[in-house]
Structure 1
Amino acid sequence: MRKRMIVSAVSAALLLLANPASAASATPGDPGIGDPYYPTYGNGGYDVSHYDLRLKYQPATDQLEGTATILATATQNLSRFNLDFALDVSEVLVNGRKAAFAATGEQELEVTPAAPLAKGAQATVVVRYSGIPSKVVRYGFTAWLRTPDGGVAAGEPESAWWWFPSNDHPADKATFDVSVLVPDGTQAISNGVLVSQSSKLGWTRYNWRENKPQATYLATIAIGKFDVSTETTAGGLPVVNAYSKDLGDNDGAARASVQRTGEIVDWLSTLFGPYPFSAVGGYVPNVRTGYALETQTRVFYSPRQFAGGSNTSVVVHELAHQWYGDSVSLERWSDIWLNEGFARYAQWLWSEHENEGTAQELADYVYAVHPADDAFWTVKPGDPGPDNQFDLAVYDRGALAVQALRNAVGDEKFFEILKAWPTEHRYGNATLAQFQDLAERISGQKLGDLLQVWLLTAAKPANPTTAPAAGLAAAATAPVHEPRSWKQIQATNSLHEHHVG
């Protein structure tokens, strides 16, 4: 009798574990993650831990075939959930069972599992799909960039929809495996480390792995004919850079800039602390765009970034994002200053390092060249709104705010803050309020008024960033000169424009 009771209890427990949420208690996940800037981006009801993407791409036709395996955990009793995706789907499986699916809205793939998912349950979602990404236009543009020998996915705040289904918002980060099959003679570049490469019957497979959490917009893929450079830094960090073989007149300047990646990462590590990932590098495909993007561990650069000659400043900007924006990601898009203000300020510190103008000289120049009635001052870097998310003010006024903070707390505390932020929030998400708390804890000062003036007020601050009160009047009237680094820094201002299809 006792043995039968034990067996019955175990059977009941196993049945409970296997039984999903009842249909009565389960509800659909929200079709957006709750970001006021982009209400339809991301999704509710689950959290992704890993993406496994197995792709086949034909450069001649831009035909992409894929199988995405998504590991996720339900955060509610879930009857239905959405993925952000825009290609054609042929099949969806949830935990090995066929699921119903439908395309809705601009980029929603609505999935109904055969049985509801219980809160806390782990789910394996398999999506089989295909399409021609360059022909897919959403919200008036495409983030898939066609090249003469292939294609590239790189865009902010969205690019994933064109090549894999996802919970497309920085608040839901995950690790990635990206396996790409391409014709022999063509390469596939992605994030992280190339763990293997093999060829068979005229096709080559590249297997890339990013083993640290990554926001979906920071995932990238580039397929084409590249000249690939591999080396290691003095500390043993792998550096992988790639250049399209048809960059023309921009080839030399691109290489002269991007090949300094290892040196620049080592220098940034003295400011921000240890580099947070297992590889670094960049790639320059033959695209017509003018922006660069901090795609995690493998930065995307447009050839036009180097049309005026070498530009290490843009390399500094994108590599600074590996700490500020990639490792520590924003919780909501309104916190974009935490990415762009500090990446721009890293350029100002590089200018100091290269003796081409101090950060204070750059701050004084920015303050002086924008009169009080300039629309530049109407954008609030701490909450610019979706239409101004990548406005010049988010970068330059954002960097002014960083300089104001430096002057207020002094260099010792300032550089302690610069290292503490990416250390305390490594691989996570954080907010402007959390940054203020950290800066106040380290400095011992109340900083709310300073941040309000420089980040959240739609007007030119009455005084420049210079800290000592006695020097304010003199600083306000002293003539300012254009720092030598100014034009090179300004050449990075088209960083995140949309590519319009």
Structure 2
Amino acid sequence: MVESDEINPVDVKHYNVDLFINMSTKTIDGHAQILLALTDSNATQFYLHLSTLTMADAFINNQKASYTRSSDKVYFEIDDHASEIIVEIDYAGTPGNDGFGGFFFQNNYAFTIGQGLYSQPPSMLRHWIPSHDVPFDKATIDLHLTVPKELDAFANGVLVSTTVENNTKTFFWREQHPIATYLIAVAVGQYAKLGMPFVSVTGDSISLEFYVFPNDVNNAQTDWANLPRMLTFFEQNFSSYPFDRYSMAQAYNRGAMEHQTMTTYSHELITGDNRYDYIVAHELAHHWWGDLVTLGDWKDIWLNEGFATYSEALYFEHIYGDDYLAKYMEALSEIYLAEVARRGHFALYDPEYMWGGTVYQKGAWVLHMLRWTIGEAAFWRTLQSWAQCYAYDNALIPDFIAIAEEQSGQNLQWFFDQWIYRAGYPDFDISWDYQKNSAVGYTVTIDIKQQQWDKFQFIAPVEIEIETATGTVVDTLISSSQQQQFQITLDTAPARLIIDPYNWLLKQYDIVGNPAPPGVRPNDFYLAQNYPNPFMQGTKTAIVYQVAQLNSPHALSIKIYNILGQEVATLIDRSLHGGLYNVSWDGKDNTGKNVPAGVYFYRLQSQKQNIEKKLVIFGN
């Protein structure tokens, strides 16, 4: 597990850091004692990371050490080839940041964010502690934080002691569990401290603590009230909570960051209405996926962010049910597709951009599809085994694939090859028709064409439902080549084809051909009654329409109007060749806002013909 081509022959075991944080000058003075093992007996030098800060003296095993600095690294010559050595460094200065991650002073608060959005690699501990600042070198840490005595200072692990001396106060924090450097953090300021009782599935009490700006206490109590329920769900389905404490510290940061045992949470996210419960769940889930099991290389960021994002969906499924899960996954796919429109396609492994829809939302979809592929029992066993096998350790994507294959008994290389190591998703053109058999029953013919942006053809299980007068037929069609035809025999005539009714496949599709309604000829313009009608706010209704074959293509539009005749939404406005089409409306106007419940009209308008029908929206 390496972060760059430069091999560093060290394995850090423990950090012992004294840090004086000067709030008035916005500087720090530090003394770091680093216990490390040399992993190569023939090595002549090693390095630690340290950015911008000034070094005074450095010692190795109590002997003054010579060193050189280059960029954000400090190189030491190896004179003592003992199996373990202690490096001591005195340093000071103004700690840095990249605008998102690093060390910050603001409004008499100081805080750190361990990941930088604008740095490569994104490890940010080097801005305030000399360290082997790579995700795969986990160690324990003692942090002694000295601050003005009127302030509090919080960090990882548990508080061992507090000492007051003159005008300062020193807080001694200890994290006894191995921790990746990007998860080490501090939060300093005048905080109101809140707490909640929580009993783990193991029967042990876990300290839930919250550090909040005094003016935000009431809102924070509301926004974080559901955390015990989230913790219970994750414990029951992943493993028992793996650390001694869980806390959240408010800060003037952007977003949130899952520092081990202490999530740093933006002041902008505390609103008092639980609208950011998904972020609360996301950061908590990281304490399994990222903190307990830590990626071994930033190229494998999916193991952190995809897992935490899908954990949001799993929690909401637990609270609100299967239908909510399907809607949540649809919302995640829309975020991902929006990023594709901006940035293009790229793979989840070693992504071109680490902090957006491909890694987070598509990453969640990969786990969702894996769940459908291997089944419920194997999926949950996979997550539990992942947490158990790599607890307090590092792992890579091939390690997860091996766990999933072991728990499912399946060869899943085809699945991960296309969803992790390749870019994109299947984009289908689907047409269907049916005919009455000469004897009894009906034959439904479904044509599926994959037309995604590159030539690669996905192996895509497409679940379908066919509604008939006597019931619903469910089947799964395996699309694995550019164009395939499937036939299904039914006892009664089909009324409607539904693609992926429970939303288990990441895809886009268009229904480019439907059975012509009875009495509708190829050269007719036709507008069907929407289905369902009425439909509920927050759902969608489908509208089937036909464009005449003769003299096509035809310029046409389908628009929604209110009862005053005012245009509300435009669904179609372009030239189309002859054929039967399908369009849906989500009950939103042209600005993206939900329209009020009530009666509306939808109109197909062309140079040849105008057709209008009525629809109804019910409120929730």
- TM-score scaled to structure 2, two decimals? 0.65
Tell whether the 8 Å contact from 2:347 to 2:421 is kept in structure 1 after alignment: yes
Tell whether the 8 Å contact from 1:258 to 1:282 is kept in structure 2 after alignment: no
**2:87 paired with 1:125:** yes
Taking structure 1 as reference, are residues 332 and 228 closer, same or farther at Cα in structure 2, changes over 3 Å only?
same
Give secondary structure in 1 for the equivalent of 2:314.
helix
User: What is the CA–CA distance in structure 2 between the aligned matches of 1:347 and 1:291, rounded to whole Å?
Assistant: 16
Tell whether the 8 Å contact from 2:339 to 2:356 is kept in structure 1 after alignment: no
Letter of the structure 2 residue corresponding to residue 420 of structure 1: S
User: 2:347 maps to what in 1?
Assistant: 380
User: What is the CA–CA distance in structure 2 between the aligned matches of 1:324 and 1:404, rounded to whole Å?
Assistant: 18
Deviation larger for 313-322 or 56-65: 56-65
Give secondary structure in 1 for the equivalent of 2:388.
helix
Taking structure 1 as reference, are residues 345 and 372 closer, same or farther at Cα in structure 2, changes over 3 Å only?
closer
User: 2:112 maps to what in 1?
Assistant: 153
User: 1:70 maps to what in 2?
Assistant: 34
What aligned pairs does 1:310-329 form with structure 2 within 5 A after superposition?
310=274, 311-329=276-294
1:199-235 CA-partner distances (Å, limit 9, x unpaired) = 1212111011111100000000111111122343123
Correspondent of 1:143 among 88, 98, 102: 102
**2:222 paired with 1:263:** no
User: 2:239 maps to what in 1?
Assistant: 273
User: What is the CA–CA distance in structure 1 between the aligned matches of 2:242 and 2:34, rounded to whole Å?
Assistant: 24
Taking structure 1 as reference, are residues 365 and 198 closer, same or farther at Cα in structure 2, changes over 3 Å only?
closer
Percent sequence identity is: 27
Letter of the structure 2 residue corresponding to residue 284 of structure 1: Q
**2:441 paired with 1:416:** no
User: What is the CA–CA distance in structure 2 between the aligned matches of 1:268 and 1:466, rounded to whole Å?
Assistant: 29
Give secondary structure in 1 for the equivalent of 2:13.
strand
Tell whether the 8 Å contact from 1:192 to 1:296 is kept in structure 2 after alignment: yes
Correspondent of 1:99 among 54, 62, 65: 65
User: What is the CA–CA distance in structure 2 between the aligned matches of 1:377 and 1:449, rounded to whole Å?
Assistant: 23
**2:206 paired with 1:237:** yes
Deviation larger for 69-78 or 302-311: 302-311
What aligned pairs does 1:209-228 form with structure 2 within 5 A after superposition?
209-228=174-193
User: 2:10 maps to what in 1?
Assistant: 46
**2:321 paired with 1:359:** no
1:19-78 CA-partner distances (Å, limit 9, x unpaired) = xxxxxxxxxxxxxx8325xx67xx611100100111111212112111111000001133
Taking structure 1 as reference, are residues 262 and 351 closer, same or farther at Cα in structure 2, changes over 3 Å only?
closer
Q: Which runs of 5+ in 2 are unaligned?
A: 116-121, 429-457, 465-474, 478-497, 501-508, 512-530, 540-620
User: What is the CA–CA distance in structure 1 between the aligned matches of 2:372 and 2:333, rounded to whole Å?
Assistant: 15
1:427-455 CA-partner distances (Å, limit 9, x unpaired) = 11111111111101111111111222222
Q: Which runs of 5+ in 1 are unaligned?
A: 1-32, 484-501
Deviation larger for 74-83 or 372-381: 372-381
Correspondent of 1:407 among 364, 372, 380: 372
1:319-363 CA-partner distances (Å, limit 9, x unpaired) = 111111111111111111111111000111122123175333333
User: What is the CA–CA distance in structure 2 between the aligned matches of 1:143 and 1:481, rounded to whole Å?
Assistant: 44
User: What is the CA–CA distance in structure 1 between the aligned matches of 2:75 and 2:272, rounded to whole Å?
Assistant: 46
Tell whether the 8 Å contact from 1:359 to 1:403 is kept in structure 2 after alignment: no
What aligned pairs does 1:335-484 form with structure 2 within 5 A after superposition?
335-355=300-320, 357-367=323-333, 370=337, 374=341, 378-385=345-352, 388-462=353-427, 468=463, 470-471=475-476, 474-475=499-500
**2:172 paired with 1:207:** yes
Tell whether the 8 Å contact from 1:377 to 1:393 is kept in structure 2 after alignment: no
User: What is the CA–CA distance in structure 1 between the aligned matches of 2:309 and 2:343, rounded to whole Å?
Assistant: 16
Tell whether the 8 Å contact from 2:143 to 2:173 is kept in structure 1 after alignment: yes
User: What is the CA–CA distance in structure 2 between the aligned matches of 1:65 and 1:371, rounded to whole Å?
Assistant: 45
Taking structure 1 as reference, are residues 314 and 141 closer, same or farther at Cα in structure 2, changes over 3 Å only?
closer
Taking structure 1 as reference, are residues 168 and 323 closer, same or farther at Cα in structure 2, changes over 3 Å only?
same
User: What is the CA–CA distance in structure 2 between the aligned matches of 1:372 and 1:101, rounded to whole Å?
Assistant: 45
Query: Which protein has the larger Cα radius of gyration, Structure 1 or Structure 2?
Result: 2
Give secondary structure in 2 for the equivalent of 1:233.
coil
Taking structure 1 as reference, are residues 188 and 375 closer, same or farther at Cα in structure 2, changes over 3 Å only?
same
Tell whether the 8 Å contact from 2:143 to 2:172 is kept in structure 1 after alignment: yes
Report deviation, 1:129: 0.9
**Structure of greater relative contact order (alpha carbons < 8 Å, 6+ residues apart):** 1
User: What is the CA–CA distance in structure 2 between the aligned matches of 1:372 and 1:431, rounded to whole Å?
Assistant: 25
User: What is the CA–CA distance in structure 2 between the aligned matches of 1:73 and 1:261, rounded to whole Å?
Assistant: 39
- TM-score scaled to structure 1, two decimals? 0.80
User: What is the CA–CA distance in structure 1 between the aligned matches of 2:225 and 2:162, rounded to whole Å?
Assistant: 23
Tell whether the 8 Å contact from 1:62 to 1:132 is kept in structure 2 after alignment: yes
User: 2:148 maps to what in 1?
Assistant: 183
Tell whether the 8 Å contact from 1:376 to 1:392 is kept in structure 2 after alignment: no
**2:265 paired with 1:305:** no
User: 1:34 maps to what in 2?
Assistant: 2
User: What is the CA–CA distance in structure 1 between the aligned matches of 2:358 and 2:339, rounded to whole Å?
Assistant: 13
Letter of the structure 2 residue corresponding to residue 238 of structure 1: S
Taking structure 1 as reference, are residues 481 and 346 closer, same or farther at Cα in structure 2, changes over 3 Å only?
farther
Report deviation, 1:468: 4.2
1:243-276 CA-partner distances (Å, limit 9, x unpaired) = 13355xxx54333223543332222111211111
User: What is the CA–CA distance in structure 1 between the aligned matches of 2:296 and 2:312, rounded to whole Å?
Assistant: 24
User: What is the CA–CA distance in structure 2 between the aligned matches of 1:63 and 1:263, rounded to whole Å?
Assistant: 40
Give secondary structure in 1 for the equivalent of 2:320.
coil
Taking structure 1 as reference, are residues 202 and 260 closer, same or farther at Cα in structure 2, changes over 3 Å only?
farther
- Bigger strand share: 2
Tell whether the 8 Å contact from 1:365 to 1:481 is kept in structure 2 after alignment: no
Report deviation, 1:198: 1.9
Deviation larger for 58-67 or 209-218: 58-67
User: What is the CA–CA distance in structure 1 between the aligned matches of 2:70 and 2:31, rounded to whole Å?
Assistant: 20
Give secondary structure in 2 for the equivalent of 1:407.
helix
Tell whether the 8 Å contact from 1:79 to 1:112 is kept in structure 2 after alignment: yes
Report deviation, 1:383: 2.9
Give secondary structure in 2 for the equivalent of 1:167.
coil
Letter of the structure 2 residue corresponding to residue 186 of structure 1: L
User: 2:611 maps to what in 1?
Assistant: none
Taking structure 1 as reference, are residues 372 and 109 closer, same or farther at Cα in structure 2, changes over 3 Å only?
closer
